[in-house]
Each structure stands twice: as C-alpha cells, then as structure tokens.
Structure 1
C-alpha cells in the first residue's frame, strides 16, 4: 500500500488512512486533510479473508502508523487493530457528544461537501456520494433525537468516505500520535533566565558530599576522590 496525497508545503495537515473491513467488500483509502480540504489518494479493495487481513493488512497498518498516519479501522473484532496503535472505530460507536460515529461522520461529510472541500480520485463518479435518506431522525417524548439508520444502504465506498470525514474531527487522546502532536511545539531548550532557569539549576546541580574523607593521614586503597578502602 503506497498512500498518495498532495499537500501544500508548510500547511497544517493530517495524514489519514481508513479501513472498512466489516463489509462483504472490504476497502481502504488514504487521504490528507490540509487547509480545510480533504483530498483522497488511493482507494482500493482488500481481501475478505481474515487470514489475509491479519498477515497482510496488519503490517500495512503498522507501517502507516509509523509514518504518522491517523488510522481508523471499522472491523467487527480487533484482528487488525490489536497491537498496532490504530483506532477501532465502528459506525455504531458513540462520538464524544454521544451521537453514533455514523451521524457525526455524515454531518462532517455534508459540511465538507457544501464547501466543495472533498477532492476525490479521478473518474470516481458518484460511487462515494452518500444518499440523504440513509439516516432519518425524529424526537422522542423526552426530547431526545432518535436516529433510524438504513444500514443495508451503506456500501464500503460510503464507509471509507464517512470514516475519512470523521477522522478530521476524531482525536484519540490516548494515542502516542496525539500526545506527540500536543507536545510538538513545547520548548525543548533549557531556559537561561527567570524562575524556570533557577529551578533547572537546582534540580541539575551536582552536590559533593558534606564531609570529604581525609586523604593523607589515612592508609588504605584509594577508590576515587571521595572513597578509600581501609
């Protein structure tokens, strides 16, 4: 798998890879989110065999993670995600606001579509277009919004689109990539003035023992400046 994407130099970007494995026609896609545009690279079908997914797809996921990609995998069991650092994200899972991932991803898809901010691979046609009636909603007697999802209408093409759009707002706070991203702009140089500088001098100071052993009057083997074996 060789993800391809275009990104203007110097812009903030998210490298994204999504895998739709819980469908009869598994698929994966790579994309980059930069300057408000979600640009797709590769979109390819994958083997439906679990053995192939574990032996071929899993190493690719690890490689993508090591290359700085945000990897989301929709699978029934953590066969591919286990031990890779990738995020197992089912469409039925809850987003941070308690809505299903599918709803949050669809909302993001429609937002990016309205802005003309989704760039698809050449000759994609309408295969990635998600029907409006895939979800219907109504409010129950308690005032809560209830969603009726037409799951059979969703294809693997739709799922990689939803996951890629969802990835632009998904931040796995427990991941190493998230922690690294949060700390990438933190100053690494030791401060030379002010309170922090004084604190660094205190904790890094090398203090000699309060009492040095006498050197000349004592006999025995000298180990170092402060140690003598009698």
Structure 2
C-alpha cells in the first residue's frame, strides 16, 4: 500500500485505466482482489472478495482480514501511503472485540465508519494469506508437472507415488460390459 492511485470519475475512463493496470499486476504475479457487489471488474480481471461473505472457516472475510491486520500491525509490517496515512489505520472504534463465556472472540463492527481506505487496508492484509483454490493460478501451481529429466527433484518421488496410485485405482475397476472398453466409459 505504498502509494494510492486516483482514477477518473467517468466510469468508462476509469474502467479502461483500471482494467489495464489490474491486468498488468496479475501478469506480474500479484494477487488482485476486488471488493464489489457485481462482477463489473472481476468478470474480466481479478478475484471478487466481499468483506461480509463467509471465509472457509465460516467467519466473515472482514474478521479474517482484521485478524491479519492486527498481526501485521504488531509486527510493524504494514506500509501505509505517505499522504494521508491516518485514513488507512483501522481504529478500535470500528472493530470492537469482546470474548464470550467460552473465550471465543467476536467483533462488533461499526459499518458506518468503514471507509474506502479501510477496505483497501483490509484487502491488502487479506491478500497476504489469500489462496483461492478455484483460481487458475492456484490450480496451475498445485498441478504443475515436474520436469521428468530432473530426477533429483524432491517432489518427483511424490508425483510417481500419486501416478502409480492412480494406475492401481483404475486397475481395481471391475471388468464388465458396463465399464466399457479398457474400463473407460
């Protein structure tokens, strides 16, 4: 969050500039998260994240992002824009946390105080630990082939085990008319 970029007010001008810049960021390997209600931007670039939506653990994305923000703040690992840096700080009045009788933390959120700058801060913090398992980048990274010429790779043995397990699984399919030729339907 080192620098803030301002965009034109006219929607079409903003759209052209923003889409171009976001595509460039994705090509450089950045995770592009967009908080929007519709798919105006994310239908073409980036990944839509809404702060009120549940995260994988059932808690709202907002809470996850806030927890990450608190941790990064304790570690002094947040770099705010030089101009108006105070606008990006998440104050306790916005997120009041309490503990219930079981010791679980819950938040009272003052939605009316959350500004665009706060949303930017939360998305940047959330992006530090965000992995969308349905994204093409994630699937490509997890399913990449190991170069078969590189026998010294630490993962080559693991991939060979997986391939052999798949072959053995296919061999266990009962032979019969319904399984088709060579057990392929």
TM-score w.r.t. length of structure 2: 0.69
Unaligned runs of 5+ in 1: 1-39, 200-230
1:12-45 superposed Cα distances (whole Å, 9 cap, x missing partner): xxxxxxxxxxxxxxxxxxxxxxxxxxxx333223
Identify the structure with the greater strand proportion.
Answer: 1
Mapping 1:4-153, distance limit 5 Å: 40-84=1-45, 86-137=46-97, 147-153=107-113
1:189-223 superposed Cα distances (whole Å, 9 cap, x missing partner): 3367xx96xx9xxxxxxxxxxxxxxxxxxxxxxxx
1:122-146 superposed Cα distances (whole Å, 9 cap, x missing partner): 3544221111121235678999865
The structure with the largest alpha-carbon Rg is 1
1:105-137 superposed Cα distances (whole Å, 9 cap, x missing partner): 111011010111112333544221111121235
Unaligned runs of 5+ in 2: 152-156, 164-185
Question: What is the CA distance between 1:148 and its match in structure 2?
Answer: 2.9
Q: How many residues align?
A: 155
Instruction: Classify 1:48/1:173 alpha carbon distance in 2 versus 1 (closer, same or farther; 3 Å).
Output: farther
Aligned partners of 1:74, 1:63: CA distance in 2, in Å? 19
* Aligned equivalent of 2:147: 188
Aligned partners of 1:59, 1:45: CA distance in 2, in Å? 14
Aligned partners of 1:176, 1:55: CA distance in 2, in Å? 24
Aligned partners of 2:29, 2:81: CA distance in 1, in Å? 22
Instruction: Classify 1:176/1:143 alpha carbon distance in 2 versus 1 (closer, same or farther; 3 Å).
Output: same
Identify the structure with the greater helix proportion.
Answer: 2
Question: What is the CA distance between 1:151 and its match in structure 2?
Answer: 1.1
* Aligned equivalent of 1:175: 135
Question: What is the CA distance between 1:183 and its match in structure 2?
Answer: 5.0
TM-score w.r.t. length of structure 1: 0.57
Instruction: Classify 1:127/1:174 alpha carbon distance in 2 versus 1 (closer, same or farther; 3 Å).
Output: same
Mapping 1:208-219, distance limit 5 Å: none
